[in-house]
Each structure stands twice: as structure tokens, then as C-alpha cells.
Amino acid sequence: MQNVNVVPNWLMQRAYLTPQRIAIKMGEREITFDQLHNQVYQMAGRLHAMGIKRGANIAVLSHNSIEMIEILHALKYIGAVTVLLNTRLTTNELLWQIENAHVDFVLVESSMAKQLEGKSKARVVSFDALYTIEPKKGELHVVKEFSLDKPDTIMYTSGTTGNPKGVIQTYGNHYWSAIGSALNLGIEQEDCWLACVPFFHVSGLSILMRSVIYGMKVVVQDGFQAETVNKEIVNEKVTIISVVSTMLQQMIDHLDERGSGYPPSLRCVLLGGGPAPETLLEKSKLRNIPVFQTYGMTETASQVVTLSSEYSLSKLGSAGKPLFHSQVKIVQNDVEQDNDKPGEILVKGPTVSTGYWNCPDATKSSLKNGWLYTGDIGYLDADGFLYVLDRRKDLIISGGENIYPAEIESVLLSHPEVAEAGVTGKEDLKWGQVPVAFVVLKNPISKEELMAFCGEKLARYKLPKAIYSVTSLPRNATNKLQRHKLLSLLDGTATI
């Protein structure tokens, strides 16, 4: 019996098959697959010389950059598992994840190294220091074949408990995700994907994976700037871009200011990170922007359900249909629901994570018989289109970042003067949603004090935009917090 789950190292195979094609363009720099492979091979030699072992968990903390891309591939070359850290996290949050993941080394963009140096048990190495290391002499034993069932990356997501969990993504999860996207969007000769979403999120990382699997050029940007993005779409004849609603809104605003539009080469604007406002979809339609809404999560290695642009208005509010090898069903009380009946959204397929790092209980409760229990609520219409009604565990999606109320609540509750805390999302024109907090205080304290307290422990995008002092929180009969009723407290409530 053959092992059908082994494929050649993706970048090495690309460097062999299509060496002269452009792999990466960032600013003025363009790198072919052959050049990228050579750089990565050197980097793998450095990582090896540093003592990184096959199978070790290695964290990477960086904004999008060519160095980061080289390091991400190099970690695959030496068979390490990459833990991707969100640059927006506080030092405390980072340290927690680094410790939880049993990380040996943290490879950090030099400007951010100070934040961690001397504070972590893991060895912290800045990119600058890394590039001065002499690569290992002699032939390097790089991983020439990837086993699709082996872990490749770990990304942390928060959940109901307040503590983030590391989602394990295998080589197969990433591979099948790229293939599923290709079977939906096609692979055209002139394809070029613009990455202005961060590589530490699966929306960004999946673009890098597609690049080496398809042999496709990726235009990389560090962070999002509507003007730069719009310029690159034209100059580089970008065909596909991944965005969240707030980005697309800014891109359209900028277009309108200039009175310009996109060239027909832009064939797909993949819109993720939560439901899109109707006005945004209508604006896009008016400007002939081909928006493909998509639903996915870290646990499904990016998009798993996508709505073709031809349906963006006729199936308004829908996330679309599954990718070719994925399945979706709606379950309520263990019973599969009929069309139009809401229930929990379950997802199955080869892009679904094998589980959470070191969390057998969470894995067991999320993954049953191959089905991922997303915690999200939705339904399928008669044509099989998915509609997402409520995001999992009261998830707040703010500018594409996932924020879990429980995580903010647990920080608030750790303050000695806070008796009870409830957090929910409030609509926001720019970000889609922002978190707001409701607290029951033991003794009066200032808003500044509480915000400063949170600021130590929470990334900025997670900080409540307002904190309201109330006498009690809405709870059900079993005393469970009813977050969906929090906003109704706002009438007659004073902020702290």
C-alpha cells in the first residue's frame, strides 16, 4: 500500500518546476521561486546551526515581511512546527502563548524583540541576530517530503473559557485548503494574490501556501493602507485580494475620492472576517467589484464556505456553499435540521484541524466523527446556501480580528473592585463591531484605572471602547450571563 499522504516539499518542488516565476513582490523587491528557495535553504542552515530540532515548536512574531516568509518556509525545511504569534498582543498575552505551546525559540522581528527579551523561558532571537548566524556547513538534511497528516502550524484562538487555545493546522489542512480554493476560484495563468492581511492569521498564511502550491506571485504588504492597496491592484495587475469589510470600505472610499475604479484583471475580492453590510455589497456591485463573501476560521485553515460574486445580492447575507471537498450541516440537539431551520453549523473535510494543542477536552468536544462543531448558529436554504446567524460563543469581529467576550470579562473580573462583568459587541461604522463592557463594581473606581488595568493584559483591539457601570447583569434562570441582552441596559446607564 502506497502512502498517499506524502507530497514533495512545496517550495522546493516549485523551485524545481517553475524556478523563474516570481514568488513574492514586496515594495521594490521581486523574488523568484528559485531565489526564494536558495534564501530559505540558507535560513534553514541557520536555524539548524542554532539548534532547532525536528518536531520542535518554534514561535514567530513578525509583521509581514520577506524575512518572515523566508523563516516560515525555513521552519518547514527543518521540520519544526511554527507557532504564529499575533503582533497586536500584549507582552503578557504573548508570554502566555509561548509558554502554553512549549516553545523552544521565539524568532522576533527585530523592532519587537525588546518586548520579550529576558521575560520568556524560551530563547528569544531577533531577525537581525538570526541573519548573522553562520549557516550549518555541509549538506543540510532538509525535509524533502511533507507528510500531510503532520502538524505544520499552530495558531491561537480564544474561546468561551477566556484562555486561548492553540489550533493545530497540518500540512494537509493547508494543502487541501489551497486545492479547495483553486477548485472554486480556478487557477489562471496571470493570477497574482495581494496579501495585506497578516501572515499570523490564517487568512494571510493561506495566501503564502497557495503561492508555493500554485506557483503564483504574491504581492505582500505590511499592514493595510487603502491607497497603497489600490495602487498595487492596478500596477501589479492583482487578480485576487483577501480583505475584511472595513478594508474594502476604505478601498472603495479611496477609489471614489479619485473617481477611479479597478481594472478587469481584479477577478476576486475575497471578503472574510464576518458578515458584510448590505450597503457595502451594493456599493461594490455598482462599481463592478467582484466580491466573494466567505466563511471560515482558524480551525478550517481559512475559507470553507464561499459565495460567488454572481450571488452576492440575490443571496444577500449568505456565506455561500462549501468548497468542493468540504461538507456543512446544521444540527440541533443531535438532529440534522431541514432547510431553513437554524442550528449549530458543523463542518467536515480535510481542511478541518486535527485538534487543539494540549487540550484533549476541547478537542473532544469540538471534533466528533470528523465533524467540527463550530459553535456558530446558522441555516441552509433550499438551494443549499449557508446563512450564518450568530457567531460562536458571542464572538465579536472587529476589523477582521476575532474577540471573545469571555477573554475580556475574565480580565475585568481579575480586578479586585469588579464583582461582575459582561462584554458584547456594538455596531461600529468603521470596524463593524467593537467590544463594550458592563461591570458591577464593589467600590467606585475610575474608568482610567480600569482601562489601564485592561491595557496591561489585552491587545489594543480587544480593549472595550466603553465600560458601563450597572447594578446587575442580565442572567437567565440558571444564572448564565445573557450577553445578547447587555446592550438593552444602555438606556439610563452611565459609563464609569
- Nearest distance, CB of residue 153 and its own copies, angstroms: 16
Whether the Cβ atoms of residue 495 and residue 469 lie closer than 8 Å to each other: yes
Q: Which of 232, 235, 241 shows the shortest CA–CA distance to 191?
A: 241
Among 79, 198, 273, 322, binds its own copies (CB under 8 A): 322
35 strand-pairing partners: none
Q: Which of residues 213-272 bind its own copies (CB under 8 A)?
A: 213-215
Regarding 16 and contact with its own copies (CB under 8 A), the answer is: yes
- Indicate the pairing of strand 302-307 with strand 57-61: unpaired
- In angstroms, the CA 41 to CA 59 distance is 19
The DSSP symbol for 101 reads T
Among 110, 115, 337, 354, binds its own copies (CB under 8 A): 354
Regarding 362 and contact with its own copies (CB under 8 A), the answer is: no
Regarding 142 and contact with its own copies (CB under 8 A), the answer is: no
Regarding 452 and contact with its own copies (CB under 8 A), the answer is: no
Regarding 198 and contact with its own copies (CB under 8 A), the answer is: no
Amino acid identity at 197: V
Among 132, 139, 189, 446, binds its own copies (CB under 8 A): 189
Regarding 186 and contact with its own copies (CB under 8 A), the answer is: yes
Regarding 367 and contact with its own copies (CB under 8 A), the answer is: yes
Whether the Cβ atoms of residue 58 and residue 52 lie closer than 8 Å to each other: yes
Q: Which of 386, 470, 491, 394 shows the shortest CA–CA distance to 435?
A: 394
220 strand-pairing partners: 195
Among 38, 91, 163, 327, binds its own copies (CB under 8 A): 327
Regarding 449 and contact with its own copies (CB under 8 A), the answer is: no
Regarding 5 and contact with its own copies (CB under 8 A), the answer is: yes
Cβ closest to its own copies, residue 5 vs residue 482: 5
495: enclosing H helix or E strand: strand 494-495
Cβ closest to its own copies, residue 5 vs residue 163: 5
Helix (H, G, I), strand (E, B) or coil at 481: strand
Handedness of CA 429, 430, 431, 436 (dihedral sign): negative
25 strand-pairing partners: 30, 219
Among 53, 183, 336, 493, binds its own copies (CB under 8 A): 183
- In angstroms, the CA 128 to CA 320 distance is 44
Regarding 172 and contact with its own copies (CB under 8 A), the answer is: yes
Cβ closest to its own copies, residue 105 vs residue 171: 171
Candidates 24-32, 61-69, 135-143, 208-216: pick the segment binding its own copies (CB under 8 A).
Answer: 208-216
Question: How many residues in the shown chain lie near its own copies by CB under 8 A?
Answer: 40
Cβ closest to its own copies, residue 80 vs residue 179: 179
- In angstroms, the CA 402 to CA 63 distance is 18
Distance of alpha carbon 433 from its chain centroid, rounded?
17
Among 25, 73, 201, 321, binds its own copies (CB under 8 A): 321
- In angstroms, the CA 274 to CA 297 distance is 10
The residues of the shown chain that bind its own copies, judged by CB under 8 A, are: 1-8, 13, 16-17, 148-149, 170, 172, 176, 179, 182-183, 186-189, 213-215, 321-322, 324-325, 327, 349-350, 352-355, 367, 370, 384
